[in-house]
Amino acid sequence: MFVLVRTVTYSALFIGLLLIYYRFVRNPMYIGAGLALAGAALFYGSLPLLGYTAVFFLATHLFVLWYEEPTLRRSFGPEYDAYSRQVKRWWPRV
């Protein structure tokens, strides 16, 4: 079981590192933090930590929708709109 948890944790970290570049997703730091929380929850077998991870992702999503994106749109206008069309918010474009 430990090997499976370790494999999943390292896989999540690897995926997070791949998403670091802003050309794949717009919010790589939030994704990386969430994956680290999820990896810790799996490693420790902690359901409360897994629940905290879900709350973290929900709060982050709402923050991005209600504050971050409107602020960036006001600051950068058409440039941010073009960037938003090219790069997805959470899932990498294939």
Residue 27 within a domain: yes
Report pTM: 0.75
Residue 92 within a domain: no
Residue 54 within a domain: yes
**Does the pLDDT value for residue 4 go beyond 80?**
no
Residue 20 within a domain: yes
**Does the pLDDT value for residue 22 go beyond 70?**
no
Residue 94 within a domain: no
Spatial distance between the Cα atoms of 52 and 40, rounded to a whole number of angstroms: 11
Which of 14, 9, 16, 15 lies closest to 49 in space, CA to CA? 9
**Does the pLDDT value for residue 7 go beyond 80?**
no
**pLDDT > 70: what percent of the chain?**
87
pLDDT in tens, 25-46: 888 888 888 888 888 888 888 9
Residue-level pLDDT at 79:
95
Residue 91 within a domain: no
Residue-level pLDDT at 29:
83
Domain count, the chain: 1
Q: State which residues form the domain around 14.
A: 2-86
